A and B are shown apart, each in its own frame.
Chain A
Amino acid sequence: MIQWIRRKLSVRVSLWVVMFAAVIFISALSFFFYQARDAVRQEAISRATQILDNTAERVEGILNRVEVATNMTKWLVQRHPDNPDSMFVYSRGMLLNNPDFYNCSIAFEPYYFKDKGRYFSAYSRHEGDTIRTIQGGSDNYQYFYMDWYLMPMLLGKPSWTEPYMDFDVPTNTSNMVASYCDVIKDGQGKVIGVINTSLSLSWLSQTVSSLKPYPNSYSIMIGRGGTYFVHPDTTKITRQTIFTQTFEQPDTALTRLGHAMQRGEDSMMHTNINGESCYVFYQPLGATGCSIAIVCPESDIFGGFDRLRHTVDAIVAVGLLMMLYFFIRIITRELNPLRRLAEEAETIASGQFDAKLPNFRRIDEIGQLSHSFGNMQQSLVKYIDELKDTTSQKASIERDIRIASAIQKGMLPEKFPSKTDRDDVQIYASLTPAKDVGGDLFDFYFRDEKLFFCIGDVAGKGVPASLFMAVTRAVFRTVSVRESMPDRIMATMNKIIAEMNKNSMFVTLFVGVLDLPTGHLYYCNAGHDAPLLIGAGVGMLPCDSNIPVGFRPSWKYTLQEAQVFTGTTIFLFTDGLTEAMDANQSQFQMERVTDVASQALAKQHLEPQQLISEMTEAVHQFVGNAEQSDDLTMMAIQYIRQQRDVKLRKSLVLPNDTQEVPRLNDFVAEVCEAVGLDSIVAMQVKLAIEEAVVNVMKYAYPQGTRGDVTIEAVSNDMRLKFTIIDSGKPFDPTVLPEVDTTLPAKERRIGGLGIHIVRQFMDSINYERSGNLNILAIRKNLTDNK
């Protein structure tokens, strides 16, 4: 119910209005009823008082007559106190003159009349239509002990006795009688007797009984001693007093009423009689000592008033209920548009932004609300459309970035050579970008007997860095095909990148070329972290301070060299390792990198994958749950080439004259035979060496100058190596592109075919410039060809 009221504005407003109206109605009606009730009460009081007054007045009139008549007779008696017989006449005369009187006795003190004995009372009373007069005193009726005789004597004044029931034996009827009595005195003022005139009060009891101002009201009359003389319950009359029932059921109200009536008070009392709320109006009856009361039940007095009140209450209640009903109906109807608006809002909220709003054609607040709501809906639709566009654009960008990330990952080498793949080097690397795409790069590849590798870090992160990284890696691959020395590679890359670098981006880069047969490392560092060499100990590779790539195209990068021994691991990394941060923003730092490297060395865990995994684990432990702040790239290269015993060493020095080729062929044939190559392979080797040497003879020295070509043959169990040395102009035949044999011979570049033959028949070719010497090493594996 309460939930319903809380949900319904119409009910709530109606309830408030009706409650307010109810308060006003109730207040007004309460005041009105209070006043009206008081008026009814006053009316009842005046009505009852008037009835009582009338009764009392009437009674007093009759009592007065008794008193006057008695006084007159008394006067007569006192005038002639000596004649007892005349007393009979006086008493009889009293009744004769006053037929409504009940009886009259003129009684004297004992032995007052000597000849009359102890008793003398002249007593007359009506008996039918006649009056009987007798001497009333006797042993059986000793009148001087009676109330009527004693009262005036003791009180010293005329008085009315308490009413009593006079039982008339002949007629077997009883009469309620009260007597007025007064003392008779002689000439000396001495009391000689009492005159008593009685009045039947039956008429009075009937009169009082019939006092009925209200249907259920009743009257009572009590005497001085509280005895009931009139009561609706006739069994109580003369037998009970007003106090009798309080013996068994203490009733303070009744007791109070009884005492008040005994005292002869003329008043009114509101009290409970026999459990019913009543108004009791009471008044004394003249000098009789009696008191009459009219008991009016409150329900009687206020019966009509209560009926009126209940009717009005009912009308008001029904009216308020109807008011409530109609208010709810009206307000519900008035608020109906709001409800529809709310439903439409629900529809819109559920996603149907184009839902049509109802048009109320109203200019009141609800109309305004509807209008504003419509505006809001339009704005909402517009905003949602914009949001959709933005969202789809964002999704497209994200998709692009995911693709870019995949492309970037694809650029990096995925296959790392291990010792099962190669006997000279094993490599492992990992790159973890901080975002989808990153600016770190690494790369390596083998050309001839050389390992070209680089590691770099583009300044910045995200898409721009990744694009720059891609460019850098592509340029590295392009440049290193033509250049074998890291400084020259770096310089060329720098020039290319710097020239196309409009956004002033840069990349720190380390480029290394490891000569695999010798373990000799050439390297150039452009502002990158110096790699570690982990072998006999842990040490940092000394690096010159070159500026990063991309700033100045004309920068001269320096070349550095180092010898890498078998078993040593080169550990390269980006600053994402040293600057990895934990939750407290403290960095991993170089010391920890060195520590991890030292531990790995101590455990001889120098295999690239093992080393990187231990380093990765150490970083993860340090970083904990903190977010990765920068791209992290590591690359490890372990040199594992074993040096073998030389079984044959021969050399031949020839001038740069092709006429000397037969000597060369003999030398090669002799060597091939010595190492045990079969004739076909020996033929191929002879052809390859001839091509290489003729190439040097023809092109190493300027036309017409003389120069020597030294051919050295060395072999071990595994390989046969020819080294061709000249002091001509620097020339690296290995960097020439391979001959496109699909082209006609005329279009092919000179010399290219020779190198092609060499590559075809031999297993590797390697060029080195050492000092002013060109040193070309050509190898043939023996294990496959014996």
Chain B
Amino acid sequence: MYSIKNIVSFIAGLLLSAALLAQGNTFVFTPQWTAQAQFAGYYVAQEKGFYRQAGIDVRIEHPSATQPAMSRLRKNECQATTLQLCQALEIVDGGIPLVNILQTSMNNAMVIVSARGKDPLTQKGARVGIWSVDFGQLAICMSNRDHLDYKWVRFAQNVNLFVAGALDATLAMSYNEYYQLMQAGVEMREENVYRFCDHGYNIQEDGVYMTRDYYNSHMEQARRFAQASRKGWEWAAQHPEETLDIVMRYVEKAHIATNRTMQRLMLQEVLRLQVDRESKKREFRLRPDMVQKASHLMKENGMLKGEVTYESLTPDP
């Protein structure tokens, strides 16, 4: 005999299934870092209703300490994430085919900031901070290529180590750690900052990726998401202060220890990096030459087993 308790359990189960089904239609997008202006375009697209207008229900879920972005993608907990081009190459080389549905960065943002005002290139064997996550491939290539033999110190957070004098130099993103270091009182001069983009390593970074499997079955959704996201970025470029308001709402919500000044600088720099050096335009495309260059460099340094081609990353291989 079915007890009332069982009936209740059944109905509850049904409702849960419906909820799960509804969740199945939601497009979860996970930026690869905590909430900050680096992802302003997506916040704008969400807040200004560009996704809704495109007919997709997007939820932006930042990675937590327990759930990094790539792990969420693998587990299908999100449908798209941002990755740096070099990261994407490694993942594809590692056997997970990815599709770049939107390329936002057109320039490389990585810099080496040296302590004590020294040129990073003169500090052979120095202890250089590098992210514990998989950024900084180009720095390793450069260190090998120029025989600098840096001792890489993987960090979760580099500012305090650097300020405390525990590092001789550290890698930094020109839109993030670079300003954090400045905010910590580090003086940036020509001689103690090395910009990869100016030394033949101008490789694109952030782009939006999804697994090829998912892409193949959700092409239209992917296309719409990419378009709406692009629209978000373009709106952000035209309305930086309103964009900043939106960013700060995300930042506050996530209890991120940052401030509007830092986020403004980050937004300006991220938007600057989106403008192609040659065309002077916001192109939103992956450049085959850059893919090829990154692939060659990483293969040379044993980071890739084989070549990863531009075509293998594009929607239509």
Within the complex, which residue of A155, A225, A238, A255 is in contact with B184, where a contact is CB–CB below 8 Å? A225
Which residues does chain A contribute within 8 Å of B262, judged by CB atoms? 244
B265 near A247 (CB under 8 angstroms)? yes
Q: Which of B148-189 contact A (CB under 8 A)?
A: 153-157, 159-161, 163-167, 182-185
Is A150 within 8 A of B185, CB to CB? no
Q: Is the CB of A226 within 8 A of B185?
A: yes
In the complex, chain A residues whose CB is within 8 Å of the CB of B184: 224-227, 241, 243
With A140-B66, A145-B156: A151-B166 Cβ-Cβ less than 8 Å: yes
| Most interface-central of A142, A144, A147 (chain B CB within 10 A) | A147
In the complex, what residues of A have CB within 8 A of residue B258's CB? 239
A154 contacts B153, C-beta separation under 8 Å: yes
The closest CB in chain A to the CB of B133 belongs to A145
A201 to chain B, nearest CB (A): 15
Measured between beta carbons, the chain B residues less than 8 angstroms from A147 are 155-157, 160-161
A365-401 Cβ-contact flags toward B at 8 Å (1 or 0): 0000000000000000000000000000000000000
Contact partners of A248 in chain B: CB under 8 A: 261
Nearest chain-A residue to B151 (Cβ)? A154
A161 adjacent to B160 (CB under 8 Å): yes
Q: B199 an interface residue at 8 Å Cβ cutoff?
A: no
- For chain B, the bracket of interface size reads 20 to 34
Rounded to whole angstroms, the CA-CA distance of A255 and B182 in the bound complex is: 11
Instruction: A240 to B184: give the CA distance in the assembly, Å.
Output: 9
Interface membership of B255, Cβ < 8 A? yes
CB-based contact A154/B161 at 8 Å? yes
Chain B residues with Cβ under 8 A from A447's Cβ?
A: none
Contact residue among A140, A226, A262, A289 (Cβ-Cβ distance under 8 Å from B183): A226
Q: Tell yes or no: B257 within 8 A of A by CB.
A: yes
B127 within 8 A of A: yes
Which residues on the A side are within 8 Å of B26 (C-beta)? none
Residues of B within 8 A of A223 (CB): 160
A661 to chain B, nearest CB (A): 169
A145 touches B259 (CB 8 A): no
A258 within 8 A of B: yes
Q: Which residues of B contact A226 (CB under 8 A)?
A: 183-185
Tell whether, in the assembled complex, residue B261 and residue A247 are in contact, meaning their CB atoms are under 8 Å apart: yes
Tell me whether B132 and A151 are in contact (CB under 8 A). no
CA distance A634 to B183 in the complex (A): 126
B21 lies within 8 A of chain A by Cβ? no
Contact A238 B132 (CB under 8 A): no
**Is B22 close to A, CB under 8 A?**
no
A146 at the interface (CB under 8 A from B): yes
Alpha-carbon distance between A194 and B155 when the two chains are bound, in angstroms: 15
Taken together as a complex, chains A and B put the C-alpha atoms of A554 and B261 apart, in Å, by: 144
A225 touches B185 (CB 8 A): yes
> With an 8 A cutoff between CB atoms, is B65 at the interface?
yes
Instruction: Collect the chain A residues with CB atoms within 8 Å of residue B66's CB.
Output: 140
Q: Identify which of A159, A242, A244, A289 contacts B259 (C-beta below 8 A).
A: A244
Roughly how many angstroms separate A744 CA and B262 CA in the complex, as a whole number? 163
Contact A244 B127 (CB under 8 A): no
Q: In the complex, are the beta carbons of A259 and B185 less than 8 A apart? A: yes
Report chain B residues within 8 Å CB of A144.
154
On B, residues with C-beta under 8 Å from A are 64-67, 127, 132, 153-157, 159-161, 163-167, 182-185, 255, 257-259, 261-262, 265
Nearest chain-A residue to B132 (Cβ)? A145
Q: Are B156 and A154 in contact (CB under 8 A)?
A: no
Instruction: Specify which chain A residues have a CB less than 8 angstroms from the CB of B156 in the assembled complex.
Output: 142, 145-147
- Going nearest first, the 7 A-B pairs with the smallest beta carbon separation are A225-B184, A154-B166, A145-B132, A140-B66, A145-B156, A162-B160, A238-B257
Chain A contact patch, size range: 35 or more
B167: A residues at CB distance < 8 A: 154
**Within the assembled complex, what's the spacing in Å between the Cα atoms of A224 and B67?**
30
CA of A241 to CA of B259, assembled, Å: 10
Contact of A141 with B65 in the complex, beta carbons under 8 Å: yes
Chain B contacts for A240, CB-based, 8 A: 183, 259, 261
B240 to chain A, nearest CB (A): 14
- Of B64, B185, B265, most buried by chain A (CB within 10 Å of CB) is B185
Q: Is A167 an interface residue when CB atoms closer than 8 A count as contact?
A: yes
Which B residue's beta carbon lies closest to that of A161?
A: B160
Q: Which of B67, B164, B167, B261 has the most CB of A within 10 A?
A: B164
CB distance from A176 to the nearest CB of B (A): 12
23 contacting pairs across A/B (C-beta < 8 A): A140-B65, A140-B66, A144-B154, A145-B155, A146-B157, A147-B156, A151-B166, A155-B164, A224-B164, A225-B184, A226-B183, A226-B184, A238-B257, A240-B183, A241-B184, A241-B185, A244-B183, A244-B262, A245-B261, A247-B265, A248-B261, A262-B185, A289-B164
CB of A653 within 8 Å of the partner chain: no
With contact pairs A225-B184, A244-B183 given, residues A159 and B164 touching in the complex (Cβ less than 8 Å): yes
Q: Give chain A residues whose Cβ lies under 8 Å from the Cβ of B259.
A: 236, 239-240, 244
- Residues 282-299 of A, flagged 1 when their CB comes within 8 A of B and 0 if not, give 000000010000000000
Of B165, B184, B257, B262, chain A has the most CB atoms within 10 Å of the CB of B184
Q: Output the least CB separation between B33 and chain A (Å).
A: 15
Q: Are A225 and B65 in contact (CB under 8 A)?
A: no
Indicate whether A165 reaches chain B with its CB closer than 8 angstroms: yes
A258 CA / B262 CA spacing, docked (Å) = 18
| Min CB–CB distance A139 → chain B (angstroms) | 8
Q: How far is the CB of B266 from chain A (nearest CB, A)?
A: 12
A167→B258 CA distance, assembly (Å): 16
By the criterion CB–CB under 8 Å, are A247 and B161 in contact? no
**Given the interface contacts A142-B132, A154-B153, A239-B258, does A225 sit within 8 Å of B182 by beta carbon?**
no
A115 to B165, CA, bound (A): 35
Smallest CB–CB gap between A110 and chain B, Å? 11
9 other contacts beyond A224-B163, A243-B182, with CB at 8 A cut-off?
A: A145-B156, A150-B166, A154-B127, A154-B153, A154-B167, A162-B160, A165-B257, A244-B262, A262-B163
B contact residues around A238 at 8 Å (CB)? 257
Residues of A within 8 A of B183 (CB): 225-226, 240-241, 243-244, 247
A225 touches B255 (CB 8 A): no
- In the bound complex, how far is the Cα of B265 from the Cα of A262, in angstroms? 23
Residues of A near B160 (CB, < 8 A) are: 147, 151, 161-162, 223-225
Candidate in A146, A224, A243 with the most chain B CB atoms within 10 angstroms: A224
Closest to A163 in B: B160
Distance in angstroms between the alpha carbons of A259 and B182 in the assembled complex: 12
- Among A150, A151, A159, A244, max chain B CB count under 10 A is at A150
| Assembled-state Cα–Cα distance A379/B19 (Å) | 133
Interface residues of A in 407-424 (CB under 8 A from B): none
B64 contact set on A, CB distance < 8 A: 140
A262's nearest neighbour on chain B, judged by CB, is B185
- Bound Cα distance A259, B154 (Å): 27
* A147 nearest in chain B by CB position: B160
Of residues 155 through 193 on chain A, the ones whose CB sits less than 8 Å from some CB of chain B are 155, 159, 161-162, 165, 167
Contacts of B182 in A (CB 8 A): 243, 247
Chain A proximity of B42: nearest CB distance (Å): 23
Chain B residues whose CB sits within 8 angstroms of the CB of A239 once the complex forms: 257-259
- Docked Cα-Cα span, A144 to B153, in Å, equals 10
Select from chain A the residue with minimum beta-carbon distance to B186: A225
Which residue in chain A gives the minimum CB-CB distance to B159? A225
- Nearest CB in chain B to that of A162: its residue: B160
